[in-house]
Structures are given as structure tokens and as C-alpha cells.
Structure 1
Amino acid sequence: MNRSIHALCASALLLTALPARAQLDIPFEEFTLDNGLRVIVHEDRKAPIVSTTLWYHVGSKNEVPGRTGFAHLFEHLMFNGSENHDEEYFTPLQEVGASSINGTTNNDRTNYFQTVPTSALDLVLWLESDRMGHLLGAIDQEKLDEQRGVVQNEKRQRENQPYGKVFDQITSNLFPEGHPYSWPIIGSMEDLDAATLDDVYEWFRTYYGPNNATLVLAGDIDVATAREKVQRFFGDIPAGPPLARLETWIPTLEHDRRVRLEDRVPQARVYKVWPIPEWGNVEAEQLALADVALTQGKTSRLYQRLVYEEQVATDVGGFAFVGEIAGVYAVWATALPGGDLAEVERLLDEELERFLDTGPTRDELTRAVMDTRSGFIRGIERVGGFSGKSGILAESAVFGGRPDAYKDSLEIAAAARPAE
């Protein structure tokens, strides 16, 4: 397929507008401490719980060659105790009935979140502030070696899963050498082995200051209470160094690349992958809608053609990953056991070309918009968790510059038009 994915997202969504819909809203107030910590508060009194979500604006893209995987390794160390609580982070929270306690790392950010009874809010703010302000004295070589082993085992488990080696191949072939997205988030075994305590200390001092963090409190709390508590627990933590942000870098491939990967899988699979624009870009948002029409569910274009009609594939899939400086769009199809993968690819290309030529039907676009909207609504039924209200406000603030930047995405979806 020689057309660029730009054509797919720019020309496939251009005609008849859908009816206007009521705008979804997550009310919030915000303030910033003198040390730079940005705080966003959403009041929701439906239940006596508060979600705390803390985003550090650092991910694997801030690493350097030779020290890949460090952002994720450091996330693990954050749960191993701080100077005034030198034991597992989870233990006291589990004792008070906290839920959704977790941390995740991606290319652009590292986040930590949990939902606690209102009465335990002081506890979680103290724990978070202690590991933000007083972590290094609790990290020693034994803890580093322990978590290094945990992460390396996690890497082995992922690679041993069916098709588990594919995504490393995608990033290394789609992004040029030196691009901050060109290495896997989990890093290489060699780089993980090379991580030292000095690296840990430098990472913490550089990226884990309050001026590189956004804290969201959502639930049974008001802004006055939040201001007093956050100032009390976080106010004396000194700011870290000022940080420069990386510029948008969407790679351009001079020609198509084909990569053949031998692996122990029961069925062959073909992937088609393209670089796409960054978070918040209109074309990236439109492409996410196109993906719903193409790959999501049994009524999607690719499922209907390859699985139901031609019966050459057992499944199809796709995703649009949209990062802070670039993105990835991928579609795939899994051939029948012993099937003809070349025929699967031919039909896949044919359907993609047809989509580029005609765009989605009105019904397909309506379904895609409704799917996007309903997914958002399901997420904001919760104050916390990965896709709850606190996470949406944090993502919007960090990547979009304002906590309600999520509305832009909803508006783009509502205004999307089918192709001519």
C-alpha cells in the first residue's frame, strides 16, 4: 500500500455532519504550589471516596541510548519504600481499604494512582509526598537489584507470549535511530543490567520534582480542603531543575519496509503500521474513528471481509497509539492455521484502499462516534482508575495544557464527516 496514512486520516472524514450532542463535562478547580506542583480538584460527593492520581511528566522518551527501560524500572522502585515509610507502599493502603492501587509507565509519562476512603486521604497524601520528597535514602543496591530482576522477568514473560516480540520490531523499524520512541518502554536486558544507583539518584533529582508533577484529587473533597492538605504535605518539597520539552517528531518513511519475524505461534499474522500525528492533533483523533470502522468488532470492515465473507482470517485488530510527540497506527489480521498469509495481506490492502477511496459510510461513522462517546462515559462513571475522571483530567492537563482538553477530542469526533 503506497498511500500515506495522512491520506487516510485527512481525506476519509470530510462530509455530512452528525447531529450535535450535549457536551460532557468534568467540573474542576486548580491551583499551583510555590514549588510548581500543579493540583486539580474535581468534587464528586456520590460516595465517601477520593481518587488521587499523580502524573510525572517523564517516560521512556526521556531516556538515552544505553539506559533504556529506566523510567519503568524507576516506577517499580517507587513502590519499595521511602525514607519515612521504608516498606512496601501497598501495605498501609490495603489495610484501610484502598482500591485501584497501581503505577504505569509509557513513552511520555509515569503515573501513580489509588482510590481511598475519604478518612484515609491524609495517609495517601503523606505516602505520596514522602516518596516525592524523601525517596533516595531508602533506595540501596539490594532494592535496585531486586526490581531489576522483576522487570527483566516481566520482559521475558511479555516476549514469550504469542506475538509478544512484534511491538519491539514495530518501534525499532517505524522510528529512526535516535527517535525517543525508537526503543521499547521496558528497555533492553543489557541496559537494565547496566543501571546503577547513581542513575537512580540522577533520574529522581531530574524528573521527580513537584514542578514536573500534576496531582489530581477527585471525589469527596472540595478545593479549600485540598489546598490545605496538599500544602501541608507537599509544600516544603523543593522544586527540581527546569526541564525542556521535546519537540514533535513524526517520522517520514522514504519507502515501505517489510520485516519477517519467525516466532513460535500457532497462526501467522500480518501487521500494517504507519507513523501518525501527535496527541491532540485533529488527524490523529479522526484516525481513531476510522479505526473503529475498520477493525473494532464483528461489524467492522476488515472483520466482515476477511473473517466472515472470505473466511481467510480468524481475527483482525487495530489500534491508534497517540503519544506526545508522534503516534502509531496499526492494523493486523491473523490467518487460518496453515492458511495463505499472502492472500490475507492482499485482501487487507484491498479493503484499506477501498476505505481510502470511499471513506466510511454514515452508519459506520455514527457507530464510531457513539463508540468513542460511550467509552468516555463509561470511564467517567468512576472517579479513579486508569480511565476514570482523575486520569482524564491529568492526561488533558499534562498533554493538552488544560484539564478540559479532553473536550477537544469529543468535539472533533462529533464534527467528523464521512468521505466523499
Structure 2
Amino acid sequence: MPTPPLTDEDCLYAIALMHEHKTIRAASIASGHDWHWIKRRLQKAKKRGLKKDSPAPSHPEPSRTELRDAAFWRKKHTASERELADAEHLVSELSGIRGVPFTIPDWILDTRTSRRGKSVIGALVSDIHMGEVISAAEILGINAFNPEICRQRLRRYFAAVCTIGQRWASDTDCEGVLLALAGDLISGDIHDELKMTNALTSHEQCLAVAEECVAGIRHLRDTYGRVHVVGVPGNHGRTTHKPTAKLYARLSYDSLIVSMVAQRFEGDDRVTFQQSDAKDQITPVFGRTVFSSHGDKIGTKGGMGFAGPMLPIVRGSKKIDAQQASIGRKPDLIQFGHYHVSGNPGHVLANGSVPGYSEYADDLRAVVEPPQQWMYLLHSRWWLRERMPVQLEDPQTPPKPIVRVPAGWHTT
């Protein structure tokens, strides 16, 4: 049956609704009519030259079709309000970060699942120690380190994250990269021996490592589309002689470096940054939380006997769990560095270092670990689905020491 033509009374009724409620959306909600229903009558009134000061007619009874359409849009509006409320609840309650100032992009907060599942590539970068020099001659050729080697290792790491991460995420809808700059980005001047042997001053170290971080983030952005950078301070970047409890982040070169890097991406909404005056950061990902810290303030100190630093790492992560649980937070992944030892006890990623084995480690007779940094994949369903420590140098055997025998000596 053809639709009956609109009468002047219908058009004048729509004008009266607009006059009372100002907007089509408000008029639609108040009257129960679909906004298309109101807009069509307003357009017809304009063609007929009807004015808003015309007397409003009696309320025309909507048809069954119009009532059905109005019910549909009311249901749609209710569903949108519920989705918004769920998102607010996620941020304030589920993530456990109510009252903590932060800026998190929507794509990393989104808990809606897709058929293939969503993923985020994780990159944990800590203990770069830009500017430090490790002499191979002092540790029997096991390792060497200087600013140029540092640059090469960082570029190898970011290239690996871009190459391997794409394979990991090939069966998912990858949302972007979560990059943690987790402290000790520079060698600093906190020890006299560092002041004597560093190749760069602290200010030069800041400039050098910032440039490498900017290049790495651009590589990640161009590969994955979006990058969220989390910055926390470490102990080597401090500007004070001794570690402090107050103003810890604000007195750190690491915080300055993250700010320098952030300035290079101003106006680029594909790269976002998260840092504050706190020494730790909490980042919600797919309805769960990632706790980032440097590791020097997890409540434990150095290594313990043959177990090395792994026992303090486990004890420190348990203290973080207990502290956060006491205020209603639950870290689903804890990541930090500081100990220069790679480990994955439970839901913890303890990071290695970029310099690798050093004179200090040699003094402790520590087990030799290659320079390496963690990368991982977080899945919306399976959570920490993939992880691997990226080795920053090809495996190699150190050269054997040369023993010189005086002339005339013979071996049997």
C-alpha cells in the first residue's frame, strides 16, 4: 500500500517539536519518533513555506511502523550508553588505576574481541647505558661496548621487533606496539669509575639515546601503525649523588629523555606517551594491566649466591603483587630491568641489558649472558602468548688468550 502524503499538520507538529527541544536528537528522544521521521517533515515544511510560529496542531498518532522504528533507536541508544559505562568501569575499576592521571589511547583499552582476536606487540627496552665503555681486554675478550656498538644493538633490536612481531601477529588483528622505556637509558655519572671511562658526558648521552629511540619508534610506527610509549626512571639516570625517595622521577635524566622523544612526535596521534612523577606506570591492555618499573625499587637488592639475581627478582615481584593487591589492583604482567638478567618467572619479565657482560659482572664472577632485550605479544584472549629475548649480537666464542713462550722452551 502506498505511503499516504504528509499533511500540513504533520509538518507543523515537527516544527513545534524543534521549537521546543532545539535539536532533532532531543526532539526524537522526547517524542519517541525516529529522527528521520522528524527530519523528513521539517524538510517538507520548508518546501511548503510553513513557519515555526504557526499554531501547533494536535499530536498525530504514529503508525505501527513508526513506533517500531522509534523502539529500535531507543534500544540502540541504551546499548551505546551501556557500552560507554562499561568502558568507564574498565578504566576506573577493572584496571585498578582510579585516581591516577594517565593518557591511554583507545586502541589499547578496547576489550571488544574479533574473530581472530586482537594483539599488541610488546617491546621492553631498559638498561641501554648509552655512553658506557666496556673494555674487551679487561674481561678476556668476552664482550665490548661503546656508543657505536650501542647504536648497532638498538637498531638490531627494533628491526627484530618489526620482523618477528609481524609473524607472531599474522593470525590476529594487531592493534599496535606497547613500548616500555624502562630506565637506565644512559650510563650517567653516578660512580667515579663511570665518570673516568664514559665516552660521552651525561648531556651527550641524553642526545644520543634520544635520537636512537626516535628512530626506533618511527620504525615501529611505520610497521604497525601505532605505538604507545611508557616511560619510567632508573637509577643510572639520576641527577643526585645518592638515590632518593622523593622527586625520584623528576630528578632523572630518563624522564628528560622520554620528554625529548615525545616532543619529536608532537602532532602525530599515532604515537602516544605515558609518564608521570611516579617511578612506576600501570597500563591497561585489553581489560588487563601491565605494571612497568625499572627494578631498582622493587623492594629487594642484589644477587643471592649461586641463584644470582633471580631470587630477588621473584621476591620483588611478589612484593609488587602484595602492594598492589592491598589497594585493589592486580598486575597481570610485571616488567622491569635493572638486574641485567633475562627471566620469566610466572607473570614477570625481567630484562637483560644492551651492554651485556661488563667488568662489574666479571668482578662478581656472574654467569655470562649475551646482551638481550625482551619482546612479546599480548593477545586479547590468551594474554602473554609469545615472548623471546632478542639477542643483540650474533653468538660467538671469545678468542683464546695468546700465550707467548720464550725462545728455547719446548713442549712435550
Q: Do these two structures clear the TM 0.5 threshold for a shared fold by scoring above it?
A: no
- Which structure has the greater CA radius of gyration? 2
Report the TM-score range of the alignment, normalised by the length of the smaller protein. under 0.3
Instruction: State the TM-score, normalized to the length of structure 2.
Output: 0.24
